[in-house]
Structure 1
Amino acid sequence: MRSALSKSTIYILLAIGAVFMLLPFVWMLSTSLKAPNEVMAMPPVWIPSELNWDNFTEALAVAPFDRYFVNSLIVTVISTIGELVTTILAAYAFSRINFFGKNIIFAVLLGTMMVPGEVLLIPNFVTLSNLGWIDTYQALIVPWTASVFAIFLLRQFFLGVPKELSFAAKVDGCSEFRFLWYVMVPLAKPALITVALLKIINSWNAFLWPLIVTNSQELRTLPVGLSAFTTEAGIKYELLMAASTMVVVPMLILFFIMQKYIIAGVARSGLKG
């Protein structure tokens, strides 16, 4: 009886938490379909009296969102591929190859995770400015082609692979790279999918860094492009929410389709509880 009561309490608390998490998305979708006079109405209007689908077409006409979409897609795809390459190579080196100072270097890398990202904005901006990369695709992509967390996640997965596999491969004359590509990478598929999905979501939703390193409209990404709805006369919330919905929905669909791979990847890499 006590066990059933505790489980019921947990489920109720989780359900309440889920409702609070979903409220902003429900409000965003509701506002995207409202008329201007209903956006700031008091008491709040949750269900629009009339569905204004024209808000979406008007939002697309305010700014060149087709260009923003292409930029976001380019940055997301290339940075994700780059992170996967660096993560696979680094994780394999830290888990399978013995070299001088390996544990110290890995500890230093983990230590960098405790440094807030905002602290690194100015040094990174100065470095890219000296390279002449400001307002280029390089500035949007290159700094984000490696992730310490992704390396740590994949390293934990590689450590769980029996060493007998590598011994048997070396007996058969298999090189380190061939063993990595044909044995370790297929085995690490759940963890790699997890790394890729997390990277895609973070890159697609990135706002602060693209805002800082881009000056021209041609290089803006979707989150930065949402600022087009802020004018001197105020914010057009119904159009802003319509554009935000178009930005968020693809990532929500991707997450719900692939969430089982995220759970499997985290569970098998040893990051439990």
Structure 2
Amino acid sequence: MDTKHTNPLLLAIAYTVLIVGSLWMLLPLVWMTSAAFKPMSEIIQVPPTWIPKHFTLDNIKQVFEQLPFARYFLNSVITTTVIVFSVLLTSAMAGYGFSKFNFPGKKILFFLILSSLMIPFQVRMIPLYQMAQKMDIINSYLGVVFPWLFDAMGVFMMNQFMLTIPKELIEAARIDGASEIGIFFKIVLPQMGSAISALAIFTFSWSWEEFLWPLIITNSDRVRTLPVGLQYFSEQYGVNIHWQMAGAFVAILPVLIMFFILQKQFVEGIALTGMKG
């Protein structure tokens, strides 16, 4: 926004609306965090308190004692890590191919990849389950992750970013005798830190929170992920709001930590991936 030629009143209104909207969106997160460290008696009291008067860690302790919550957490860490690394690698390689090479059917293939974004997951769910059944990977880590190992949006983001990398740089490396694999890993990837960070946050966030597919493909605690575990937890302990808030707080904590660590690269990546079409 160009603030030099903007009416000060309009600028003040815009900032006020943004601040109020941001605070309104943060209220559920603040309440959840506060309730996670309160006893039940304080949660239900009127008027409510935002800062715990009787701070306790017993809620989080109970979450890990009542259900195999640590196992759910570990399963989410394993599956999300695999998905993030797979999406980053395949998206970067595909983006490199589409942005820096010309081959027959390039535009059609790119269009088909992007068009897959218009197909809801609910439409693909039954064929995916049938594939998992035939491959005998139901109730396994591979079964949880295999629909998400490749991401069309990731390919688009990497393609947009790589269009900003000068072709002359790659051509110079080829003249010097560098292989395409060497160019990709030693020249292209080191320049993609911002875009990769942005894609990593996006992928980590939705894969960590994915609920429907793990619910369908798993049938034991051995491979159930955290969102599914939270659902079972809420069904069994629905009246214990303080335990539910503690479980939700533990579940969302990794996403918040990752965002705060990579927020600078995330903002830069969002800006850079939209610079060139």
Shift of 1:74: 0.8
Which amino acid is 2:29 matched to? F
Q: How many residue pairs are counted as aligned between the two chains?
A: 272
Note if contact 1:229-1:235 (Cα within 8 Å) is conserved in structure 2. Answer: no
Q: Does 1:107 align with 2:111?
A: yes
Change in 2 beyond 3 A, CA 1:228/1:194: same
Change in 2 beyond 3 A, CA 1:233/1:203: closer
Identity between Structure 1 and Structure 2 (%): 38
2:166 to 157, 162, 166: 162
Which amino acid is 1:11 matched to? Y
Note if contact 1:229-1:236 (Cα within 8 Å) is conserved in structure 2. Answer: no
> SS at 2:118's partner residue?
coil
2:157 to 146, 153, 165: 153
Per-residue CA deviation, residues 150-189 of structure 1 (Å, 9 max, x unaligned), is 1100101111111111222222222222211211111112
2:226 to 222, 225, 230: 222
Q: Does 1:27 align with 2:31?
A: yes
> SS at 2:266's partner residue?
helix
Shift of 1:198: 1.6
**TM-score under structure 2 length normalisation:** 0.91
**TM-score under structure 1 length normalisation:** 0.92
CA distance in 1, matches of 2:237, 2:22: 36
CA distance in 2, matches of 1:231, 1:163: 56
1:258 to 224, 246, 262: 262
Shift of 1:43: 5.1
Which amino acid is 1:81 matched to? F
Aligned to 2:247: 243
Q: Matches of residues 80-159 of structure 1 in structure 2 within 5 Å? A: 80-159=84-163
> SS at 1:219's partner residue?
coil
CA distance in 2, matches of 1:253, 1:7: 32
Note if contact 1:91-1:151 (Cα within 8 Å) is conserved in structure 2. Answer: yes
1:183 to 182, 187, 204: 187
* Unmatched segments (≥5 aa) in structure 2: none
Change in 2 beyond 3 A, CA 1:257/1:232: closer
Q: Matches of residues 32-51 of structure 1 in structure 2 within 5 Å? A: 32-41=36-45, 44-51=48-55
CA distance in 1, matches of 2:148, 2:42: 41
> SS at 1:133's partner residue?
coil
Per-residue CA deviation, residues 199-254 of structure 1 (Å, 9 max, x unaligned), is 12222222221111100011111121112333467442110101111111221122
Change in 2 beyond 3 A, CA 1:3/1:72: same
CA distance in 1, matches of 2:183, 2:234: 53
Q: Matches of residues 5-84 of structure 1 in structure 2 within 5 Å? A: 5-41=9-45, 44-84=48-88
Note if contact 2:238-2:244 (Cα within 8 Å) is conserved in structure 1. Answer: no
CA distance in 1, matches of 2:46, 2:81: 43
* Unmatched segments (≥5 aa) in structure 1: none
CA distance in 2, matches of 1:142, 1:76: 11
CA distance in 2, matches of 1:172, 1:271: 29
Note if contact 1:62-1:228 (Cα within 8 Å) is conserved in structure 2. Answer: no
Note if contact 2:214-2:224 (Cα within 8 Å) is conserved in structure 1. Answer: yes
Shift of 1:62: 0.9
